[in-house]
Each structure stands twice: as structure tokens, then as C-alpha cells.
Structure 1
Amino acid sequence: MSISHRILLIFVLSLSLGGCATQPMSFLGASFAPISYTDIRKRDVPLRLKLTVEFQRNGEHFPKGDVPLKDYATRILKDAGVISPVEDRQEGEVKVVLNNIADRGTVAAEQSGARHPLWMIGTTITDAYELSIFITSQGKTIGRTGIRHAVHTALGNISIPDYIQTFPHDQAFGKVLEQMILRGLQSMQKSGELAKLNSLGAYHFGKQIG
């Protein structure tokens, strides 16, 4: 199912449920441990970098996603305290590429043979993401690729365990992006690469993390 079709499905189900308490709720995949801003070491003086982004859908550039991706990435990077996105390229560039991989296994049409409406049965829609982040400063580029995560959206009569943190579906994109960007920054800090950006010569490094 395409992203636009899934968004339409969620919207229609919300209207159909009307005044019911059940509304689309999302939660992050459990494959990766949560990370918070306190896990990132802030720089005394954040790197002033120009932010560029590219939103992809199943590996193809999807320009309509660039604007929200840039807005969210700007806020996340600022809050992390490592990079301060700026319009000029005073100290270099940070590039964020996010690929949204559609979950083709939970399409509403596939349940066309069910006796009850979809929201009476309940279903879960999954959006998987893969992120790459590159930081260039003074001729040196460091980066991380293959940063993966997923967000699940529960629709209808589904019981979600209390220990799973849920949030409204309209917050899902920001939360999953936050986790991936913070994991990328944390990886580059643990390796010592971010601390050396201002002292080493030029080389390129791209490391895949799962």
C-alpha cells in the first residue's frame, strides 16, 4: 500500500469511529533500545552546518516529504546540542536521507473478505524507515548509513500492552526520526569522530549500523 493510501485509510477510520474512544495510536518498533537526548553529549559550541535532506519512498525521491523531514530534523539536531543548522555553509554541511519502506502486508483491501468492518476487527499498519546521515566540515566527511527503525499504528479494536508507550499517530514521524538521528549522532560520538572534526585532515567514512 502506498503511503498516501495508508494516510487516507487512517483518516477514514478516524471519521468512522466518530465519538468512540478508539483512535489511531502509534508505537515504535521494539528492535532497538530507546535513546534520549541525555545520551548525547552536547558540544560547548555546536557545529554550524547547512542542513540538506532527501525523503525517499521505497528508494525513490519523494519531494513532498522533504519539507517535513527538514523541519523535524532541524528541531532534533538543535535539541541534541551537537549541530546548529544554518542557512549558510559557514562550517560545512549535514545531510539526512530518510527512506520510508511501505509495509505491503497490512493492506485494508486484503481483508475484503472479512465479515466485519476493518475498525471492528482491528489491524496494525507498519512503516519501516532507513536513515543515512553525513556530516562534512573542513574537508572531512563522516557518516552513518543503514540506521533502521519502524513505527506501528494500531487501528480499531486492538489491545496494546500497558508497557508499550503509545502516542497519537500525528506524532509518529517525529518520534521515529528522532530515534534514528540520535542513534547516528551517538555512534559518531562513541567512535570519537565528532570530536575530531576540527582537527583531522580530509577523508570519507560511512559506516552501516543496524
Structure 2
Amino acid sequence: MKKLLLTLVPVVVLSGCISPKTYVDPSFSKASYQDVKSVQKKYSSNVIVEFQRNGEVFEKAHQEVRNHVERTLRATGVIIPSSENPEFSLKIVVNNLADLGAAAAKGFGTGLTFGAAGSLVTDYYEVSITYIDNSGKELTKKYKHALHTTIGNKKAPFENVNPTSPADAFGSVVEQVILNFITDMQNNGLLTLARKVQPVHS
């Protein structure tokens, strides 16, 4: 997961004393675990994940994404990831949108000044989550998110948001998107208290 934010590599190479600080954009989180409605019995779901960088599949990150997705699903108390007799499938595609060239140049400049100049790099994410019932009908919801990483002497992009590592910040992005999805589905009458798995209406 550390390699997902390649923009940080030049700085780390040039100066080990410059540590990146990553901030999870607070404007995209719409739900918390407290907003998730409990169910009588957890649903079982096959989970399919894919990570992309600027629309190109990046398989090395698939397992990291899966770990975050499955951990969050279990924590909601609504869904248990399972490939054995699943009641439906969830396909999660995470696309990292980043200008790697420009970001690397910023990092290189910061490294040359040993952090005095400072720089800010933003990684945008587009996430699509598709609910597929056993008849094959699909319902897709799309979400956006962002991470902001400061390197060197750069002011934090937000007040009252604690910085973390790039890896932990990415995990928070996935977690928040999954929570948004679960609450949206429940507001649509799916994944609710009723044990019956509702079909997707076309």
C-alpha cells in the first residue's frame, strides 16, 4: 500500500528526515458506523475488488483494497464476506486519479530544499460499488473521495483534521466509502432489518 502514493518516493530518497503527512478530506464522509441500521442476521456476500490508477488496473493493490473492504463490511454488522453460497455480490472498483508527473516534480523540489519549500499533493479517488443480486440484476452507486499529503514545511490543508500515514489514510477512504454505500442502500430499502434479500428493480 505504501507504493500507491508514488509521489512520495523522490522526497524519501533525497532526505530521510522529511516525513509525509496525509490528511483524509473531511467533506466526503457522510455516514458513520452509528448510522448503519442493525439486521436480524448478517448477509453473506461475494466480494470482488479492483484497484485502478488513472483508469489502468493496478493488481498489486487489489489485496490491500480487499483487506480494507472486508474489514469494514464485517465491522458494520450487516455483511459477512463469503464466497460460499453468497446471497449477492458486491463489486468495488477504486480508481486513483493522480498526475504522477506533476506530483513527482513537487516532491523532488521539496527534497532539494530539504523540506523548506514544502509541497501539497492531492490524490483523488472515484469509487463504484455494484450490488448484484442472484438474478444478475445490478445496482451501482458511485462515490468520490480525496487524500491530501503535505511534504516538508507546508501548512495542513484542513483545521481539526489529524494527519496520518498514507497507508492508514487510504484505509480510511475505503472505510468511509463503504459506510456511505451501506447507509445509502439501507435508505433505499436494501440490506435492512428484513432478512429477505430484496431484488434489484430495473
Bigger Cα displacement from structure 2, 135-144 vs 174-183: 135-144
Q: Tell me which amino acid in the other structure corresponds to 1:174.
A: G
Matching residue within 160, 163, 172 for 1:163: 160
Once the two structures are TM-superposed, the CA of residue 104 in structure 1 deviates from its matched residue by 5.0
Once the two structures are TM-superposed, the CA of residue 113 in structure 1 deviates from its matched residue by 7.3
Q: Say if 1:115 and 1:186 are closer, same or farther in 2 by CA, change over 3 A.
A: closer
Matching residue within 39, 48, 52 for 1:43: 39
Question: Does the 8 Å CA contact 1:106/1:125 hold for their aligned counterparts?
Answer: no
Q: Tell me which amino acid in the other structure corresponds to 1:40.
A: V
Q: Which runs of 4+ in 1 moved over 6 A?
A: 111-115
Once the two structures are TM-superposed, the CA of residue 159 in structure 1 deviates from its matched residue by 2.8
Matching residue within 153, 173, 186 for 2:149: 153
Deviation per residue, 1:65-94 (Å, 9 max, x gap): 111111111101100111100132332212
Fraction of identical pairs, as percent: 30
- The count of corresponding residues between Structure 1 and Structure 2 is 198
What's the counterpart of residue 24 of structure 2?
A: 28
Q: How does 1:10-25 map to 2 (within 5 A)?
A: 11-12=12-13, 15-17=15-17, 23-25=19-21
Q: How does 1:42-121 map to 2 (within 5 A)?
A: 42-104=38-100, 106-109=102-105, 117=113, 119-121=115-117
Q: Tell me which amino acid in the other structure corresponds to 1:188.
A: M
Q: Tell me which amino acid in the other structure corresponds to 1:8.
A: V
Bigger Cα displacement from structure 2, 167-176 vs 69-78: 167-176
What's the counterpart of residue 6 of structure 2?
A: 5
Q: Provide the aligned C-alpha RMSD in A.
A: 2.9
With the length of structure 1 as denominator, give the TM-score of the two structures: 0.79
Once the two structures are TM-superposed, the CA of residue 157 in structure 1 deviates from its matched residue by 0.9
With the length of structure 2 as denominator, give the TM-score of the two structures: 0.82
- Structure 1: gaps (5+ residues): 205-210
